[in-house]
Amino acid sequence: MKLKIAICDDEEKQRKYVLELLEAWAKLGRHLLVIKEFPNAESFLFQYETEKDFDILLLDVEMEKLSGIDLAKEVRKENKAVQIVFITGYYEYFSDGFDVSALHYLIKPVDERKLYPVLDRAVSNLSYRERSVLLSTADADIRVPLADILYVESENVYVVVHTVSGIHRSRIPLSKFIQQLDDTFFQVHRSFVVGLKYVKKVSRTEVTMLNGDVVPIRRGSYDEVHAALIRHL
């Protein structure tokens, strides 16, 4: 698989070390890599203005001026597909990764045992984005990538599909639509199915999605929903 990867870290020694790990991983998996190094968030964002085709970002959290978290927030404003991995020496920023749908949070020192499984997951996620469902709407038949679906809502014989780019309504029962989904989705209520990667938090009565929408869950199903989220991590 051909991948474009950015390493953003203000320590040159750390960038070179991660670069070596990437090259070794690429040989094992027979991946073709284009790797670009950046000494700070500002230099990456300047380049990103004209090169938005990065597949994976390996970001140090603590950098001068803009942090890796700030960088990720800027990218996430328009890019939901890129795989973001934070690499840092501190645990305290872990919760910030959820706000930008980070794939993983690696604590230094990083080695192949830590990094390689995360890169494999990134490749799997990128391949997954190619999967899609075909929706027949009132206006046209449209193809929606599974990776773009936030959640699905049932309205009798219709489904309302909420995606990162908009809402689509199609005449198909929820039970039949679910057959086109995979295990990255979970039915939290008889009328709602959520994309697990877009769940921000879950309580005893509802799920809050990353876009702020709130979805009800079945009474007594909190443990089941929580377990599904843990499996997806």
Residues 138 and 74 in one domain: no
- pLDDT tops 70 at residue 199: yes
Q: How many domains does the chain have?
A: 2
Query: Which residue type does 125 have?
Result: N
Range of the domain at 42: 2-128
Residues 101 and 138 in one domain: no
Residues 59 and 162 in one domain: no
Residues 167 and 221 in one domain: yes
Final residue belonging to a domain, choices 110, 128, 146: 128
> CA-CA distance, 62 to 141, in Å (whole number)?
46
> CA-CA distance, 151 to 212, in Å (whole number)?
12
pTM over 0.85, yes/no: no
Residues 96 and 71 in one domain: yes
Residues 13 and 124 in one domain: yes
> CA-CA distance, 154 to 158, in Å (whole number)?
6
Residues 145 and 55 in one domain: no
Neighbours of 171 (CB within 10 A): 13
- pLDDT tens readout for residues 70-84: 999 999 887 878 999
Helix (H, G, I), strand (E, B) or coil at 48: helix
- pLDDT tops 90 at residue 98: no
Final residue belonging to a domain, choices 79, 95, 128: 128
Helix (H, G, I), strand (E, B) or coil at 35: strand
Q: What is the share, in percent, of the chain residues with pLDDT greater than 70?
A: 94
Closest alpha carbon to 65 in 150, 8, 145, 107: 8
Instruction: Tell me the residue ranges of DSSP E strands in 132-184.
Output: 132-136, 141-145, 149-155, 158-163, 166-171
